[in-house]
């Protein structure tokens, strides 16, 4: 079957890439190995942080673009995608000052609040030092976002094919690639691979990807002690402070947000056990879960630390923590998003579609740099 572009991987990034290709007037088929709505990768679940707490200009410019595109997608789909409940960042005030300075240079509103004022405003949280508050942040409704991307892409002619694993990708020329499934061979000018935890398995031997580490992460939802707190609970990032003995049990910075109807989501960042994505046990690592409960007990007085429901997802990470957005002949690759990529989804889709048409991505995302 002949098509302009094949997208391999139907999570958030692949769906956004298919939408952007379709917006450009090209024919596109998306192939996803699992059924729609599966929970085996990194894009499932109800919420993700929409977080502007970056000091790197490339990321800040990209997340601002993503905000515009999320709003446009919400209008087109009729689905609410962002809840701008604000974001509080605390710990490592030295680093937060760099974030605040970057915000000022780009006209992004953020402000420092004393710990006492922050605790009075967000009674379910505890703060030790100044808090950087970013009002234009909050959360993305992840499940709704996937539905919206597919809905609008299919309106524009994109085809989404689930339960369709890709068996091979054959580069046939500078502008020719064959994508092989059990039922069909697709011949295309470009293939965009957004396979998440399966990227290395699929692309090893085809192109020179840098190492990608796949971990099984186990955040949890904690029950609110007072349901009324849900109306005023911001998303948050919290970094441990070096040399503070009270933080020595932390595995990493903590991120979190309210998930309506499920509680407050909190998790360690990128420190789960390394796994083969086809051989996961989906079980929380006991020591990390107990440490997360201790964190909730000490820093989230508005939740019950013993009433929690663990969640399982994969991270796929580069050594630098930056994304890979690059092209090798007719093969375009988007990988390494885990832990902070979801908020950028529609902007990443635009970059991937541009790469397929010959426009390079920002240098920060080159495979050779990661």
Q: What is the DSSP string of 272-292?
A: SPB--TTS---PPPHHHHHHH
pLDDT at 201: 93
Closest of 9, 55, 12, 109 to residue 344, by C-alpha:
12
Q: How many CB atoms lie within 10 A of CB 272?
A: 23
Task: Show Cβ contacts of residue 162 under 8 Å, excluding neighbours closer than 6 positions.
Answer: 10, 32, 34, 35, 36
Least confident of 38-47, 77-86, 235-244, 256-265: 38-47
Q: In angstroms, rounded to a whole number, what is the distance separating the alpha carbons of residues 62 and 348?
A: 8
Mean pLDDT of 330-345: 95
pTM of the entire predicted model: 0.96
* Residue 258 Cα to chain centre, angstroms: 16
- Domain coordinates in residue numbering, the chain: 1-58+140-210+319-370
Q: In angstroms, rounded to a whole number, what is the distance separating the alpha carbons of residues 165 and 62?
A: 31
Closest of 258, 301, 328, 369 to residue 123, by C-alpha:
301
Closest of 156, 158, 154, 185 to residue 172, by C-alpha:
185
Task: Give the model confidence (pLDDT) of 124-148 as tens digits.
Answer: 999 999 999 999 999 999 999 999 9
Which of 335-362 are b and which e, b meaning 16 or more Cβ less than 10 Å from the residue's Cβ?
bbbbbbbbbbbbbbbbbbbbbbeeeebe
Distances (CA, A) of 224 to 12, 50, 264, 268: 29, 21, 7, 19
29 φ, ψ (degrees, to nearest 5): -120, 130
**Structural tokens at position 147:** 């539905």
Q: In angstroms, rounded to a whole number, what is the distance separating the alpha carbons of residues 252 and 247?
A: 10
pLDDT at 319: 94
Is the pLDDT at 338 greater than 90? The verdict is no
In which band, very low, low, confident or very high, does the pLDDT at 180 lie, cut at 50, 70 and 90?
very high
Distances (CA, A) of 87 to 36, 42, 133, 134: 31, 22, 6, 5
**Rg of the chain over CA atoms, in angstroms?**
21
**Structural tokens at position 208:** 């020179």
Q: In angstroms, rounded to a whole number, what is the distance separating the alpha carbons of residues 353 and 17?
A: 6
**Structural tokens at position 17:** 């890439």
pLDDT at 1: 93
pLDDT at 14: 98
Q: In angstroms, rounded to a whole number, what is the distance separating the alpha carbons of residues 265 and 259?
A: 6
Least confident of 115-124, 132-141, 223-232, 357-366: 223-232
Q: Which residue has the higher pLDDT, 228 or 192?
A: 192
Superfamily for the 1-58+140-210+319-370 domain: FAD/NAD(P)-binding domain (3.50.50.60)
Place of tokens 């990493």: 252
3-state secondary structure of 116: helix
In which band, very low, low, confident or very high, does the pLDDT at 205 lie, cut at 50, 70 and 90?
confident
pLDDT at 208: 87
Is the pLDDT at 305 greater than 90? The verdict is yes
Is the pLDDT at 348 greater than 90? The verdict is yes
């Amino acid at each position: 079957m002949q098509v302009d572009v094949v997208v391999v991987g139907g999570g958030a990034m692949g769906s956004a890439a298919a939408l952007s290709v379709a917006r450009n007037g090209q024919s596109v088929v998306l192939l996803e190995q699992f059924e729609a709505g599966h929970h085996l990768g990194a894009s499932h679940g109800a919420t993700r942080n929409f977080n502007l707490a970056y000091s790197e200009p490339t990321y800040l410019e990209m997340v601002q673009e993503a905000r515009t595109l999320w709003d446009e997608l919400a209008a087109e789909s009729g689905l609410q995608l962002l809840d701008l409940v604000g974001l509080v960042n605390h710990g490592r005030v030295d680093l937060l000052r760099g974030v605040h300075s970057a915000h000022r240079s780009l006209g992004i509103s953020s402000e420092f609040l004393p710990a006492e004022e922050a605790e009075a405003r967000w009674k379910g949280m505890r703060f030790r030092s100044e808090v950087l508050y970013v009002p234009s942040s909050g959360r993305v409704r992840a499940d709704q976002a996937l539905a919206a991307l597919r809905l609008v892409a299919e309106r524009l002619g994109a085809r989404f094919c689930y339960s369709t694993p890709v068996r091979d990708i054959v580069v046939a020329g500078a502008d020719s690639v064959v994508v092989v499934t059990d039922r069909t061979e697709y011949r295309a000018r470009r293939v965009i691979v957004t396979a998440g935890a399966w990227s290395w398995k699929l692309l090893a031997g085809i192109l020179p990807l840098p190492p990608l580490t796949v971990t099984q992460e186990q955040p949890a939802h904690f029950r609110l002690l007072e349901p009324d707190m849900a109306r005023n609970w911001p998303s948050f990032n919290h970094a441990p402070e070096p040399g503070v003995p009270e933080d020595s049990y932390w595995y990493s910075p903590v991120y979190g947000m309210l998930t309506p109807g499920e509680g407050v989501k909190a998790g360690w960042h990128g420190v789960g056990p390394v796994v083969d994505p086809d051989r996961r046990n989906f079980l929380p690592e006991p020591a990390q879960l107990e440490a997360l409960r201790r964190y909730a007990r000490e820093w989230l007085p508005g939740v019950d630390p013993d009433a929690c429901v663990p969640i399982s997802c994969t991270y796929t990470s580069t050594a630098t923590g930056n994304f890979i957005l690059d092209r090798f002949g007719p093969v375009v690759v988007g990988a390494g998003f885990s832990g902070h990529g979801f908020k950028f989804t529609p902007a990443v889709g635009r970059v991937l579609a541009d790469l397929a048409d010959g426009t390079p991505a920002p240098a920060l995302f080159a495979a050779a740099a990661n």
